[in-house]
A and B are shown apart, each in its own frame.
Chain A
Amino acid sequence: MRGHVLRRLPSALLILFVASLVIFAVLRLVPGDPATSLAGPDAGPETVAAIRERLGLDDSLPSQYLHWIGGLLTGDLGPSYAIGGQSADLISDGLGATVELTAAALLFVIALGTAFGVLGATARRGWVRAAVRALTTGALAVPPFVTGVLLVLLFAVLLKVLPPGGHVSLLTAPDLAVQYLLLPALCLALPSAAVLGRYLKDGIERALAEDYVRTATAAGVHPRRLLWRHALPNALPPAVTLLGMQTGHLLGGAVLVEAIFAWPGLGQLAEQALTRRDYPVVQDLLLLLVTVFVVVQLITDLVYAWLDPRIRWE
């Protein structure tokens, strides 16, 4: 196990290192001087010089890079220039809201995906299987911003049972917070749930066609036990890899869903930082998102190996 992690680590670190270089370079390629744009049109040269000084823009590029990475490693991200406050505070607030949304969406993905998979593979009535197929095809084909608007139209405008957007902290008012959470999480989860459902359906169908299932049926094992204890676990490993990849997609997709539902997460922060040219925040955010993505993939590999003993860690 430890060997496996160690073997995987270098390439993950390499990707992170190159990504950090790319992000660092991207923000140095931005046309115009960030200090001038941060200072505003009316600022005098002293103000611009002061901002350059604070941003460390007069240092050499390698020392700027090292300063940035050093700050990241020690947790001192420095102040945000345009939005105000500390970069680290802004990011941790946004991260909280995004994680909340992504975690809720992940629960939906697992629940809906398993339901789609099991129903699609084993439902006795043809129309149930057809409905599941239509639902997964639709959820996959239609972009989230369309599903998002449709969900708002249905649940907030027509039925008036859920709020159309906004955010309430889970800590202050859990019951209200859940109402605000439902629509965005569902919107974010649907495409991934459809992918997972299709994979599980194929996996379960393949597992149910195996010889050992026939043997077990002949030996009198109950079909339900056969499904949940034998077919489903065998369909899981590829589904878990998929779930890992989908977690990355969820984080990326959260950026969009946050914009539709006015959810104050990292996506909204990124949008705000970009439009107000708060480059230090943009830089930290991009690297954070890539890091999360890489870590999720690493975890996926490990869970995959744990679920499928045929994969050796050595």
Chain B
Amino acid sequence: MTATAPLPATGKRPRTAPRHPYRAALASARGRTGLVLVALVVLAGLLAPLLAGHSPTDQSSQSLAPLGTPGHPLGTDDLGRDLLARLLYGTRADLGIIVLSVPLGALLGCLFALLAAVHPVLDTAVQRLFDLVLAFPGLILALAVTAILGPGRLPVVLVIALAEIPAFGRLLRGGILVEREREYATAARVGGSSRIRVLTRHILPNAADPLVVQIAVSLTVAVFVEGAMSFLGVGVRPPQPTLGSVLSQSVPYLSDAPHFAAGPLITVTALVLGLSLIAEALNREIRR
């Protein structure tokens, strides 16, 4: 330390100020890999109209064309639709569903948790409500909601949001219970802040970290639910593509045209793996 590497003059290399945990998480190897994977998928979805040479629903005479067919780089599906276009627009549809449904579920879950924090009676009521939602296994919930609304985009969004409410609600409720016993919360109360203000301005920001991790986790769950509903035939209505519906349509042709399944398989895997890596990186940094 003294002989080989002379220390730079004081002030030249100051001890780096502790970075915000989210930034540190995203800068870790895990976080970076996750970000790259997710960014690629998001870019593909955003640029779908520019990258796809065809409409995802136009049928051509060539059905199940192989990879590298002129005009159809990823080939075509059983109805002669361009697989690249279906993959890109399917990704776009999935992204649209998950960025709508997860924040909706998170918002509702947090509102319920805040409501529960107001009074013990409300707390019991909200807890039982969560129990009830959790008593329905996710896909059973999907079937029930679709029974009312019929298949389409809206039920998919609602099912995901509904299924996520208890996850966020329980997490925030637990956080509030811990945080409101802390000294700063007492101090804020003694200082004359109203209960609502203490809850929303002091406790909520301090209990928010696990929620950020949960958002990343819920996004992967949302991809899962969309795909599962497509497989069950209760998802977004055909012929509009989603990642799940393209994959489920490829299943009967797995032995004759495995490339049919390859695109959505790779995209779904990249997306969920990327999101889980981000979630794990965030979790590690926050727990430090």
Q: Which residues of A contact B (CB under 8 A)?
A: 14-15, 18-19, 22-23, 26-27, 29-31, 137-138, 140-146, 149-150, 152-153, 156-157, 164, 248-249, 251-253, 255-256, 259-260, 267, 270-271, 274-275, 279, 282, 286, 289-290, 293-294
Q: Does B272 contact A (CB under 8 A)?
A: yes
Q: Which residues of B contact A (CB under 8 A)?
A: 128, 131-132, 135-140, 143-144, 146-148, 150, 220, 223-224, 227-228, 231-234, 244, 247-248, 250-251, 254-255, 258, 261, 265, 268-269, 272-273, 276
Asked whether A141 and B231 contact (CB < 8 A) given A157-B254, A252-B138, A270-B143, the answer is no
Asked whether A140 and B276 contact (CB < 8 A) given A149-B254, A156-B255, the answer is yes
Query: In the complex, which of the residues B135, B223, B255 contacts A290, with contact meaning CB atoms closer than 8 Å?
Result: B135
Closest CB in chain B relative to A297 CB, distance in Å: 8
Closest CB in chain A relative to B249 CB, distance in Å: 11
Closest CB in chain B relative to A270 CB, distance in Å: 5
The 5 lowest CB-CB distance pairs between A and B, nearest first, are A252-B137, A143-B224, A141-B276, A255-B139, A256-B228
Q: Could you list 12 further interchain pairs (A-B, Cβ under 8 angstroms) beyond the known A30-B148, A259-B232?
A: A30-B147, A143-B227, A145-B224, A145-B248, A153-B261, A164-B254, A253-B137, A260-B248, A271-B234, A274-B143, A286-B143, A286-B144
CA distance A218 to B16 in the complex (A): 46
CA distance A148 to B248 in the complex (A): 11
CA distance A163 to B178 in the complex (A): 53
Chain B residues near A279 (CB-CB < 8 A): 147
Is B143 a contact of A142 with CB atoms below 8 Å?
A: no
Query: In the complex, which of the residues A31, A140, A164, A256 contacts B139, with contact meaning CB atoms closer than 8 Å?
Result: A256
Query: In the complex, which of the residues B150, B231, B276 contacts A259, with contact meaning CB atoms closer than 8 Å?
Result: B231
Closest CB in chain A relative to B79 CB, distance in Å: 19
Chain A residues near B247 (CB-CB < 8 A): 145-146, 149
Is A274 a contact of B265 with CB atoms below 8 Å?
A: no
Is B231 a contact of A145 with CB atoms below 8 Å?
A: yes
Is B147 a contact of A149 with CB atoms below 8 Å?
A: no
Is B231 a contact of A256 with CB atoms below 8 Å?
A: yes
Closest CB in chain B relative to A36 CB, distance in Å: 15
A-B contact pairs, 27 of them (CB 8 A): A19-B135, A19-B136, A23-B144, A26-B147, A31-B150, A140-B276, A142-B272, A142-B273, A143-B227, A145-B248, A146-B269, A149-B250, A149-B265, A153-B254, A164-B255, A249-B137, A251-B137, A252-B140, A253-B139, A255-B139, A255-B140, A255-B232, A256-B139, A260-B251, A274-B146, A282-B147, A290-B140
Is B233 a contact of A275 with CB atoms below 8 Å?
A: yes
Closest CB in chain B relative to A189 CB, distance in Å: 16
Which residue of B has the minimal Cβ distance to A291?
A: B135
Is A15 a contact of B131 with CB atoms below 8 Å?
A: yes
CA distance A123 to B231 in the complex (A): 39
Instruction: Classify the interface of chain A: helix, strand, loop or mixed.
Output: helix
CA distance A256 to B269 in the complex (A): 18
Chain B residues near A251 (CB-CB < 8 A): 137
Closest CB in chain A relative to B40 CB, distance in Å: 16
Chain A residues near B131 (CB-CB < 8 A): 15
Is B137 a contact of A149 with CB atoms below 8 Å?
A: no
Which residue of B has the minimal Cβ distance to A271?
A: B232
Closest CB in chain B relative to A227 CB, distance in Å: 28
CA distance A23 to B148 in the complex (A): 11
Closest CB in chain A relative to B285 CB, distance in Å: 18
Chain A residues near B276 (CB-CB < 8 A): 137, 140-141
Closest CB in chain A relative to B275 CB, distance in Å: 8
Query: In the complex, which of the residues B132, B140, B227 contacts A18, with contact meaning CB atoms closer than 8 Å?
Result: B132
CA distance A242 to B138 in the complex (A): 17
Chain A residues near B244 (CB-CB < 8 A): 145
Closest CB in chain A relative to B99 CB, distance in Å: 18
CA distance A156 to B258 in the complex (A): 12
Chain B residues near A149 (CB-CB < 8 A): 247, 250-251, 254, 261, 265
Closest CB in chain A relative to B235 CB, distance in Å: 11
CA distance A260 to B29 in the complex (A): 35
Is A260 a contact of B140 with CB atoms below 8 Å?
A: no
Asked whether A146 and B135 contact (CB < 8 A) given A252-B140, A260-B251, the answer is no
Is B231 a contact of A156 with CB atoms below 8 Å?
A: no
Is A143 a contact of B258 with CB atoms below 8 Å?
A: no
Is A145 a contact of B148 with CB atoms below 8 Å?
A: no
Closest CB in chain B relative to A106 CB, distance in Å: 15
Is B148 a contact of A286 with CB atoms below 8 Å?
A: no
CA distance A27 to B149 in the complex (A): 11
